[in-house]
Chains A and B, each alone.
Chain A
Amino acid sequence: MAEKQLDCTLAAGEHQKARFARLRKDVFEEQRPYAIVQADMPFELFQVMDVPVVSNQWWAAIISAKRLSAYYLDTLNSLGFHEGLCRYCSLAVASTLAKDPERAPWGGLPKPALLCARLTCDCLQRVFGIWAEAFGSEFVFIDNPGATELPPRWWELSRYRWRELFEEHRLKFTVVQLQNLIRVLERVTGRQFQIDRLCDLMERVNRQEEYFEEALQMICSAGRTPVRMHEQVANVMAAQWERGSDWAVEHARAFRDEIRDRIRQGVVACPEERLRLMWVGAGLWHDTDFYTAFEEEFGAVFVWSMYLAFGPDGYIRYGLDDPLLALASRTVSMNEQLHNPPWANEWIVHQAKQHRIDAALVLTPLGTRPAATGNRFIERALEEAGIPVLPVIADMVDARGWDPKAMRRKVAEFLTTRVLSRRQST
């Protein structure tokens, strides 16, 4: 495990563990309903209805960090699911199909009341269908209408002019689906949905993301980064999974404050920082040490990933007179914004410039295809902006086939031949 420099990071880890222990207790002892949901679902509705959620991707990352991915993926393959199928979304399913709670992190996932996913790819309904059957739980999905109006610089429209950014028919369709989901949540909890509660929550999410934005700006403008990328991720994601909760808003504030204090005190993450790196794609959850492996020799520090940056640009919504519509707009294009042209490439180059990035590593996860689309566009755009790119063909959760030493050598060579040499020549 990579070093943790921030008090906040430790607090986030402790909080997540305690939260999961509480969830198991609530579910087992008090039969409280909870939901397993895909990362891009509108978590806000679950919050408002007091239904705890476990994100599929978070659980996959935990399994992977505990070095259990090979065991579970082998199990999946032995059941007849071939090795070419997606791993990021199916690792957690595999942990259920393995029927081996002794081995599972923290005793494994208990039976959820609901499984929920947005259908952003053709396999998701299959993955979640299999999972729902294995648990004997209900599966609720949100279908995913396609974007056809693709204005440039989406992040300049997303906060105030989101109604223009995400076509009206897509928003309307998504709202109906959110209403369906609300009805299911009402049935499961026996409680009534209150739109005022959603409105309050949306405002709190805005506040949370504003704190993250301040943190991001400080990281951008500091001479050397006060916080490494992997610690940004740990803090941001702990809060995003329960965005808008008191803990999450408070944690975002504490994160911002700790960064501010570090900057005031002149504390930097890596005193030898000479190169600033960007990681494009989901985290490499099975080898997080990778992210600090190039500091000693090259002074190369990872300072950016999508996780912190997407909070403000992707989530903030001003003008909450119709909170459900605003929530639909937060949900409807996440995949395009993060992965697909024209939005992902433009945004990532913009971020790279803002963060004074010297080089980028772009993850092409062949075991997770939709997350691999759009990458060539991103790589080309970065190179055209003068930022050398190393494509990394690897999987975020599957350590099988990942050769840590070889990859570190490859990155070292890239930094030597493409990044440092260029610096010296300019």
Chain B
Amino acid sequence: MTNPDFTAKPRNMADPIERLTWHYENPAAEAISFAAGGIPVVGITSDTAPWELIRAAGAFPCVINSGNSNYQDINSFMEEGVFEERIRAIFGAAISGDLQHLSLLLIPRTSEQEYKLYLYLREVARQDPKRPIPPVYLYDMLHTRSPESYAYGLERTRRLKKQLEELTGKLADDAALKHAIEESNSARKAIRKLCRLRGQEPRVTGAGALALIGPSYFMNRGEYARLAELAVEMIKDRTPLAGKRLMITGSSLNHQGLHQSLEKHGTVVVAEEDWWGSRSAGNDIADESNDPLKAIFDKYYLDMPSPRLFPVDIADAWFQQASTDGIDGVVFYLPPDDCVAGWDYPRRRHYLDERGIPHLLIREDAMSISKECNGRIEEFVHSIEAGR
């Protein structure tokens, strides 16, 4: 994770790719400047928080990705080896005072670890009220597919709307919701165009694509969409990249480490089953609806990835479709801290084997891929070349 640098600016402000990449590397920059300007900032911890609702209530939504996993106090509260690095980093940022610019830290129930993060932060704040921890809020959308989970999530979304309105003093009325939907749909549209430039004839590397998609979580989405569209225009005339086209699945990646390691071997990562990449946009929110709040909820309930999603056929649908869409090989990323995606591995491996799609398992932390693992990647790439 990179530390936010609020003073540096992209070298070339006119270059949309450079500007987006700068925001990817400085994820808190825009949030901090909005907060300084008196706009309430709502931090979110992952993808299943309804961005549009926060925006419509007049706050600035921003995914927290500039955490502090080295903050020494973390170990006083959090067990080592139990939480994934990204969650530890957010926890560290919250208890160290690094998130003081937030008016609210909204924790969606995307994963069980986030629920625990919520309970931990509440308890640290209770035990030590002087600690500069932002107020925390659990957005408890459940991800199982049942009528009662749906009704529960919709009701929780209504509650969240009220909470946000109280926070900002601004009503998130239908007009404001529709405007926010338009804004975020424009970002989604641009991201889908970027993703299309990765497919059969990739014109951007996977690492590059992450840096262009990720800022949609850190920036004003209207401005993001404008820059991303410009970036698409610049990229679309590039010569297609050579190299085997890989897809990544498994644990989520909030950095470029794995993509860079794979692409060093002459491959191109053209898709990743990850809300930081290919799965960040999904479908638009249906804006013809007369109930924009429900339309927003539907989007997050039905179309955003979460490890809690169940049943399996729905949870596997994207993987099955993407892995058979002209991919040369699939990389399963199950770092040492994984305790969830590993359960899917044998089933998905079997799916690929039945279709003759090569795959590779990586069990190391992508931030520090070993020499041995690099050797295995190299071998894997050769085996694909030999086999096709």
Contacts and interface: CB of A to CB of B under 8 A. Distances in A.
Interface of A: 79-82, 84-86, 119-123, 125-127, 129-130, 141, 143-148, 150, 169, 173, 176-177, 180, 336, 340-342, 345, 364, 366, 369-370, 372-377, 380
A27 to B, nearest CB: 26
A372 B109 CA distance: 19
Given A82-B334, A336-B119, A376-B78, A143 B339 contact: no
B346 interface: yes
Contacts of A375: 79
B138 interface: yes
Given A122-B340, A129-B311, A82 B138 contact: no
Chain A facing B: main interface SS: loop
Interface of B: 75-79, 81-83, 109, 111-113, 115-116, 118-120, 122-123, 126, 138, 140, 142, 144, 146, 148-149, 152, 155-156, 307-308, 310-312, 334, 336-340, 342-347, 349, 363
A85 B334 CA distance: 11
Nearest to A345: B123
B308 A340 contact: no
Q: Which of B82, B83, B308, B338 has the most CB of A within 10 A?
A: B82
Given A123-B339, A341-B122, A370-B112, A143 B82 contact: no
9 contacts: A84-B339, A120-B112, A125-B144, A126-B312, A148-B138, A150-B119, A169-B152, A373-B116, A375-B79
Contacts of A147: 119
A146 B346 contact: no
A130 B142 contact: no
Contacts of B156: 169
Contact of B76 (A81, A148, A380): A380
Q: Which of A81, A125, A370 has the most CB of B within 10 A?
A: A125
Q: Which of A123, A180, A340 has the most CB of B within 10 A?
A: A123
Contact of B77 (A130, A176, A366, A376): A376
A122 B342 contact: no
Given A145-B140, A146-B109, A130 B78 contact: no
A342 B76 contact: no
A15 B339 CA distance: 36
Nearest to A380: B76
Contacts of A176: 148
B140 A85 contact: no
A248 B307 CA distance: 38
A146 B340 contact: no
Contacts of B118: 146
A145 to B, nearest CB: 6
A141 B145 CA distance: 11
Contacts of B138: 146, 148
